[in-house]
């Protein structure tokens, strides 16, 4: 069964600190992996997308990594800001016709001043 597991479920850090969120998946065959940011009361917004051949991709202070061999991805946030407080969702797409997306449960990040 296709699954996406994220850890930790929740995280509290101080403003200015770095943090890393983890995503492990068992989806097959793999097509791509996206990280979404979801602010409270809003829909998710895509941060990065990674395909099989990509190891690292950055979007400002967000850096995603992908290890397709171990089926692991991480999202690293540098110099956190209060506005980074949100849920971060890992989504993996299967290489099949139709909408074959598997969503992780998300990591709820709170950045405190």
Partner 1 sequence: DVKVTQSSRYLVKRTGEKVFLECVQDMDHENMFWYRQDPGLGLRLIYFSYDVKMKEKGDIPEGYSVSREKKERFSLILESASTNQTSMYLCASRPGGGGYEQYFGPGTRLTVT
Site for partner 1, rule CB under 8 A:
4, 9, 31-32, 34, 41-46, 49, 89, 93, 98-99, 101, 103-106
CA 8/CA 28 separation, integer angstroms: 23
Beta carbon of residue 5, minimum distance to partner 1 (angstroms, whole number) = 10
> Of 13 and 100, which has the nearer Cβ to partner 1?
100
> Of 43 and 113, which has the nearer Cβ to partner 1?
43
Beta carbon of residue 28, minimum distance to partner 1 (angstroms, whole number) = 16
Q: Before 35, cis peptide (omega within 30)?
A: no
Q: Are 47 and 86 in contact (CB under 8 A)?
A: no
> Of 71 and 93, which has the nearer Cβ to partner 1?
93
Beta carbon of residue 18, minimum distance to partner 1 (angstroms, whole number) = 25
Q: Are 64 and 52 in contact (CB under 8 A)?
A: no
Beta carbon of residue 81, minimum distance to partner 1 (angstroms, whole number) = 22
Neighbours of 85 (CB within 10 A): 17
CA-atom Rg of the chain in angstroms: 14
């Amino acid at each position: 069964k296709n699954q996406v597991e994220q850890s930790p479920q929740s995280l509290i850090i101080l403003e200015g600190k770095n943090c890393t969120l983890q995503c492990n998946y068992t989806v097959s065959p793999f097509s791509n992996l996206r990280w979404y940011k979801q602010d409270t009361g809003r829909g998710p917004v895509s941060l990065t997308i990674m395909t099989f051949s990509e190891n690292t991709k950055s979007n400002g202070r967000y850096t995603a990594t992908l290890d397709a061999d171990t089926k692991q991805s991480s999202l690293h946030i540098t110099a956190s800001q209060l506005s980074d407080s949100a849920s971060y969702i890992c989504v993996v797409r299967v290489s099949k016709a139709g909408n074959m997306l598997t969503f992780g449960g998300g990591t709820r990040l709170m950045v405190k001043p």
